[in-house]
Amino acid sequence: MPKGLKILGFSFQDPTLTHFGGLVLVQRFCQKLGLRRQLQRCVKMPHRRDDFQAADLLLALLYVQIAGLRRVSKTQILQYNGVFLSLLGLDRFPDPTSLRRLLHRLPPAAIRQLVRMHDRLRRRLFGMRAPRTTLIFDLDSVVLTVYGQQQGARIGYNPKKKGRRSYHPLLCFESHGHEFWHGSFRPGNAAAKTGAVHFLERCLAKAPSTVARSRIRVRADSGFFAGKVLGRLENKGCGYVVVAQQYGTIRRHALAARYQTLRHGWAAAEFSYQAHGWSQARRFVVIRRPLPQDPEEAAQLKLFRDRRYAYEVLVTNLKLSPWRVWRAYAPRATVEKTIRELLYDLPLSQIPTSRWLANVAYFHLMMLAYNLVHWFKRVCLPSDYANATVETVRRDFLAVPGRLTHPGGRHVLQLPSGYPLKTEFLGAVKKLERLVVPKT
């Protein structure tokens, strides 16, 4: 085996190195969107003498989240990252105290302005690659356990950390584009259906006028099983498939239904039922499947069971056969993957401050960071990356070692000679050069 180096010197003088050479792609994408200018123009902050403008700090927080630094306290690594500072146009990177101070200073009006700016960006990018005439909204909630004395954290439903305080945000994603649509940051003692009607109104209000309400479908778990929620969707003319709560009467109807045999021991049925407090009966669909032979696998099914079968009950207003209703609902499982992506690839589970409004602001900044990565991959990367996670995009394109050089008076970012995605990287650069983002 060849011997390694025996004599090795060390130098700490090169300011042009970076861990994130590929982040230049996201930076150019944000330039095409005019993101800094929009942050400066749309998010109004109280005037204060500071070394950094508020727009620069907001943009820095977005890049930090995209780069995968899960805690604000870990941003010191970027203070000696020369290329990263050049991308931002800063002489030095703001320290964690400056970033937290910004979050603390954001008033409710500025947070609402940030959300409206995000909505305008989504409208500009909606259907850029392929015009869409339908929308599928996947609704869910997530429990964020906290370990300090954060404002607004309450003891509520927390299946993994029972008895611990938490937050319980509501989330809506659009299935076709895998993009965040709307979110509500809530205390931990809020039930899933608390505020669900208003939440739905906000989701529908953001739908483009080119999409008819009859072309919008909503998929949700049992947390949204409520007569007011279903009634509002019916009044709006939207289709829906919602998992039914496992009430005793619904179980009895499901067990007594007449089933049509499908393949592999599966069967489907339907029945009509008017729950207590409902103004009318609604259609229920039941899918019955054999229990897996593995007891652990059977225990993981979130369905009610008898000795031989597991049952999934859905309430719907779609005029499809029971099996097709279930097939229409089944892809909603991808929302669980999306939430895991937010928890582990982005810092959804990391609550940065003890103040309620600061944590709300950080939540909405993170959802904007999530969408920026997904818009970037949809517009600039090969179709193979259409369903790629944030971590995959980060690993393949953003976290690439680089060095900024200046041969002949022009800036050149040097990347590793053996980089396997050189063609795809340069293809993204060309797409960015030609990119024209529609104006609202």
pLDDT, one tens digit per residue, over 203-231 is: 999 999 889 999 999 999 988 999 999 99
- For the stretch 233-288, pLDDT in tens is 999 999 999 999 989 999 999 999 999 999 888 999 999 999 988 999 999 999 99
Q: Which residue has the tokens 């990347």?
A: 415
Query: What are the strands, taking DSSP E only, across 306-420?
Result: 309-316, 402-405, 412-414
Q: How many CB atoms lie within 10 A of CB 284?
A: 22
Give the integer Cα–Cα distance in Å for 407 and 427: 23
Structure tokens at 273: 């039922």
Q: What is the mean pLDDT of the chain?
A: 87
CA distance 227 to 280: 9
How far apart, in whole angstroms, are the C-alpha atoms of residue 222 and residue 157?
Answer: 14
In this structure, the dihedral spanned by the alpha carbons of residues 81, 84, 88 and 93, taken in order and rounded to 10 degrees, is -20
Instruction: List the beta strands (DSSP E) in 250-365.
Output: 260-261, 267-273, 282-290, 304-305, 309-316
Note the pLDDT of residue 131.
75
What does DSSP assign to residue 187? B
Q: Is the pLDDT of residue 98 over 60?
A: yes
More confident residue, 259 or 191: 259
What is the Cα–Cα distance from 41 to 57, expressed in whole angstroms? Answer: 14
Please tell me the number of Cα atoms within 13 Å of 373 on its side-chain side: 32
Sign of CA dihedral 294, 295, 300, 305: positive
Q: How far apart are CA 380 and CA 421, in angstroms?
A: 14
The per-residue pLDDT for 8 is: 63
CB of 404 closer than 8 Å to CB of 86: yes
Look at residue 362 and give its three-state secondary structure: helix
- Can you name the CATH fold of 109-344? Transposase Inhibitor Protein From Tn5; Chain A, domain 1 (3.90.350)
Q: Which of 15-29, 46-60, 169-183 has the lowest mean pLDDT?
A: 46-60
Instruction: Single out the residue of 424, 359, 10, 401 nearest to residue 183, CA to CA.
Output: 359
CA–CA distance, 382 with 405 (Å, rounded to integer): 28
pLDDT score of 85: 72
- Mode of pairing for the β-strands spanning 309-316 and 304-305: antiparallel
Report yes or no: 352 and 100 within 8 Å, Cβ to Cβ: yes
DSSP label at residue 397: I
Q: Helix axis angle, 356-380 relative to 422-434, nearest 10°? A: 100
Which residues on neighbouring strands pair with residue 284, listed in sequence order?
A: 271, 315
Residues 161 and 291: their CA atoms lie apart, in Å, by 28
User: Global pTM?
Assistant: 0.91
Helices (H) and strands (E) in the chain, counts: 15, 16
Break the chain into its structural domains and give their ranges: 17-105+347-434, 109-344
- Token digits of residue 27: 């930076």
In this prediction, residue 429 carries a pLDDT of 93
Q: Higher model confidence: residue 81 or residue 107?
A: 107
CA 279 from centre of chain: 35
Give the rounded percent of residues in the chain with a pLDDT score beyond 70. Answer: 90
Separation between Cα atoms, residue 426 and residue 437, nearest integer Å:
20
What are the two backbone dihedrals, phi and then psi, of residue 362, each rounded to the nearest 5 degrees?
-65, -40
Q: First-to-last CA distance in the chain?
A: 63
Query: What does the alpha-carbon distance between residue 433 and residue 440 come to, in Å, rounded to a whole number?
Result: 21
Let me know: does 222 contact 242? Beta carbons within 8 Å. Answer: yes
Average pLDDT of the residues in 354-372: 95
Report the sign of the C-alpha dihedral through residues 31, 32, 35, 36, in that order.
Answer: positive
What whole-number distance in Å separates Cα of residue 103 and Cα of residue 69? 17
pLDDT at 226: 92
pLDDT at residue number 67: 87
Tell me: the pLDDT tens digits for 30-55? Answer: 999 999 999 999 998 876 666 678 88
